[in-house]
Chains A and B, each alone.
Chain A
C-alpha cells in the first residue's frame, strides 16, 4: 500500500515571502499522480497543483510550483509571494494509475500554513 508523509505539522511565513512544504511518499509503482490540496477553514478541498509521474518537468500554477524528485520519492510545494489568503491546511496526495486509478487518493496528514502579516 502507498503511504504519504508530511513531516511539518505547521509552518509559518511572513506575507510576501516564499515557503516550501515537504512531502514524501512510498510506492512500488512507476506510474501515478501526485497532488497538493488546500483546505481553508471553510473545509472545502481545493486542488492547488497536479503532477504526473511520467513527466520530468515540474508543474507550476502561478505562485505555486513543485519540486518533484521521483527517485527520492519527494514532492514539495513552493509558494512564492505568500498572501494572507494562502493560510490553510495543505495536503499532499497520491493516486495510482493502475486499474484506471479509480481507487481513490491517499493523503498525508497535512501541514497547517500560517501567514504572518
Chain B
C-alpha cells in the first residue's frame, strides 16, 4: 500500500515548455486534488476531482489543466510554463477522515 505517489520529484523547465505531473493513489478514494505551495504560503487548491470523470477549478486554476484518467490517477498539465508557476506541487486524495498527501514535486521554471 503506497498511498499517494507523485512523479517526478524534481523538475526544471524553461519558460514556454510543457509538462505533466503524474499522481496515483491506491486507496480507492473518489476525490483527488492538486495543490501548490509557494514560500510563506499554505497550500492553495488548483483543481480537484470529486469522482472519476469529473474535474473542477479550485482557487488558482489559471495556466493548468487536469485529467482524471481513472479512479487511481489524476494528472496536472502545464501547457506553457511560466516563472510564476515555480512552486512545490502536492497531489492528495480524500479518505473518510482526512486527506492523504503525496511527497510533492518541486518545479522550477527558468
Chain A contact residues, CB within 8 Å of chain B: 4, 9, 35, 42-45, 47, 50, 91, 93, 100-110
Contact = CB atoms under 8 A, between A and B. Distances in A.
Contacts of B58: 103-104
6 contacts: A42-B103, A44-B101, A44-B104, A47-B99, A91-B42, A103-B58
B99 to A, nearest CB: 6
Interface string B77-100: 000000000001010101001110
Chain B CB within 10 Å — which of A42, A104, A105 has the most?
A104
Interface of B: 30-31, 33, 35, 40-45, 48, 50, 56, 58-59, 88, 90, 92, 94, 97-99, 101, 103-104
Contacts of B97: 50
Contact of A102 (B43, B48, B98, B104): B48
Contacts of A50: 97-98
Contacts of B40: 9, 109-110
A105 B31 CA distance: 12
Nearest to B43: A107
B103 A44 contact: yes
Which secondary structure dominates chain A's binding surface? loop
B44 A107 contact: yes
Given A35-B98, A104-B33, A109 B41 contact: yes
Given A4-B42, A110-B42, A102 B103 contact: no
Nearest to A52: B97
B42 A109 contact: yes
A103 B56 contact: yes
B42 A103 contact: no
B88 A43 contact: yes
